[in-house]
Amino acid sequence: MLITLIIFFVILLALVLSHEAGHFFSALFFGIKVEEFGFGIPPRMFGVRSKKGILYSFNWLPLGGFVKITGEDGGESQDPSHFSNKSSWVQTAVLASGVFMNLVLAYVIFSAVAMMGTFESVEDKDIALYPDAKVMIVETAPNSPAGTAKIEAGDVINNMVSGADSVTPKTIDETQKFIEAHKGKEILVVILRGKTEFQTTIVPRADPPAGEGPLGIALSLVRIRKIPFYLAPIEGAQIMWNATTATLQGFWMLIGSLTTGGGEAVQVSGPVGIYNLTGQATSMGLSVLLTFIALLSINLAIINILPIPGLDGGRLLFVIIEAIRGKKISVNISSAAHGLGLALLIALILFITFNDIKALF
């Protein structure tokens, strides 16, 4: 638990620092004054001021970070280092740089994982070509025999024993036939989770709910595919594209579900949910953990580019509006809009966190 907690905060720190570093260094590059680089959301815990006058702060709510740029909330000034005195293109570059850095982080991670090895699904009929392939559990239904036995996605089935019968499954078909033949009987399942092997006893249901199967698991035959280092950047780009498009589709489905009144079917995780997923990813090995971090980074980039006040996308929207109307938005309106947006986002995070905690009990 302590190791998972440490890894969770390291992940959070890496995601926040990569995002805010984009804003920070792009602002300095374009000659814009930076007042504060903060990790977490205020109130402030403590801070250290550099010789250049920049305050580096740690805040009590470790749910994000920020870079405070002079003039980012609007207003008029004669100071050439004022954000509002820069062109729309410069403002756009500074605001978008955080999202860009999150995507860069994901790409670098995916390229590294490609060299380390990624899971690739293969078909049962091709097992002779891939003798190292393993039968992996990719999904566990809640309240099923597998769920009750604490079997998780990513677990590999090494062996199954029931009475005098046993099998070391090489294919999905072989696994399913053994389970089907022993419905209603105890099966000792030997599981490999990451590098740890353990045993659990489970009884397949004779009459399972539709679509779940006797154990309540979905299976995939997978192998580890490694890419040569000189091809890793290309493979990383392909994985990046697939992951980003899949994430965008997920967000589109989420928005569609909420707008059509299907919000009760939407599962959204907050910090507590992500902490639990961190523990699962950690147990499955370094490559899975790194992939998890890359996916979080993509999610963070997409969320931040949404045109919601308080987020980068909301500030970009204000820049576009100012460019179209040829007039600055009132600093009072800008501050109020972004302050309200940030407050609503914090409230949403707290609400999701409450639901995550409630789901644990």
What whole-number distance in Å separates Cα of residue 52 and Cα of residue 50?
Answer: 5
Has residue 75 got a pLDDT over 70? no
pLDDT given for residue 55 in this prediction: 95
What whole-number distance in Å separates Cα of residue 271 and Cα of residue 212?
Answer: 29
What whole-number distance in Å separates Cα of residue 221 and Cα of residue 233?
Answer: 26
pLDDT given for residue 348 in this prediction: 80
| Residue 239 pLDDT class (50, 70, 90 cuts) | very high
| Residue 261 pLDDT class (50, 70, 90 cuts) | low
pLDDT given for residue 212 in this prediction: 87
The structure's pTM equals 0.79
Reported as a single tens digit per residue, the pLDDT across 34-54 is 999 998 888 899 999 999 899
pLDDT given for residue 335 in this prediction: 82
9-to-50, 103, 204, 300 alpha-carbon distances in Å: 25, 20, 39, 15
pLDDT given for residue 42 in this prediction: 86
For the chain, give every domain's residue range: 120-225
What whole-number distance in Å separates Cα of residue 330 and Cα of residue 319?
Answer: 12
- State whether residue 260 is helix, strand or coil: coil
Alpha carbon distance, N-terminus to C-terminus of the chain: 17
> 205, 215, 145: which is closest to 175 by C-alpha?
215
| Residue 105 pLDDT class (50, 70, 90 cuts) | very high
Mean pLDDT across the stretch 289-302? 93
Task: Please say whether the beta carbons of 194 and 119 come within 8 A.
Answer: no
Token pair for residue 210? 């539709």
Tell me whether residue 337 is exposed, middle or buried, using C-beta atoms within 10 angstroms of its C-beta: 0 to 12, 13 to 18, 19 or more: buried
Mean pLDDT across the stretch 225-249? 92
**Residue 43: is the preceding peptide bond cis (ω within 30°)?**
yes
Token pair for residue 359? 């789901």
Distance from the Cα of residue 258 to its chain's centroid = 20
Residues 6+ apart with CB under 8 A from 172: 124, 135, 219, 220, 221
Reported as a single tens digit per residue, the pLDDT across 325-360 is 888 888 788 888 888 888 888 788 777 777 777 766
For the chain, percent of residues with pLDDT exceeding 90 = 51
Residue in the block written with tokens 């980003």: 244
Least confident piece of the model among 99-108, 162-171, 224-233, 253-262: 253-262
Has residue 219 got a pLDDT over 60? yes
DSSP at 209: P
Mean pLDDT across the stretch 136-157? 89
> 152, 84, 165, 144: which is closest to 327 by C-alpha?
84
Has residue 289 got a pLDDT over 80? yes
Tell me whether residue 37 is exposed, middle or buried, using C-beta atoms within 10 angstroms of its C-beta: 0 to 12, 13 to 18, 19 or more: buried
Has residue 269 got a pLDDT over 80? no
pLDDT given for residue 268 in this prediction: 64
Has residue 235 got a pLDDT over 80? yes
pLDDT given for residue 260 in this prediction: 65
CATH topology of domain 120-225: Pdz3 Domain (2.30.42)
pLDDT given for residue 120 in this prediction: 86
| Residue 263 pLDDT class (50, 70, 90 cuts) | very low
Mean pLDDT for all residues in the chain: 88
DSSP at 285: -
Has residue 264 got a pLDDT over 60? no
Token pair for residue 82? 């004022």
pLDDT given for residue 157 in this prediction: 94
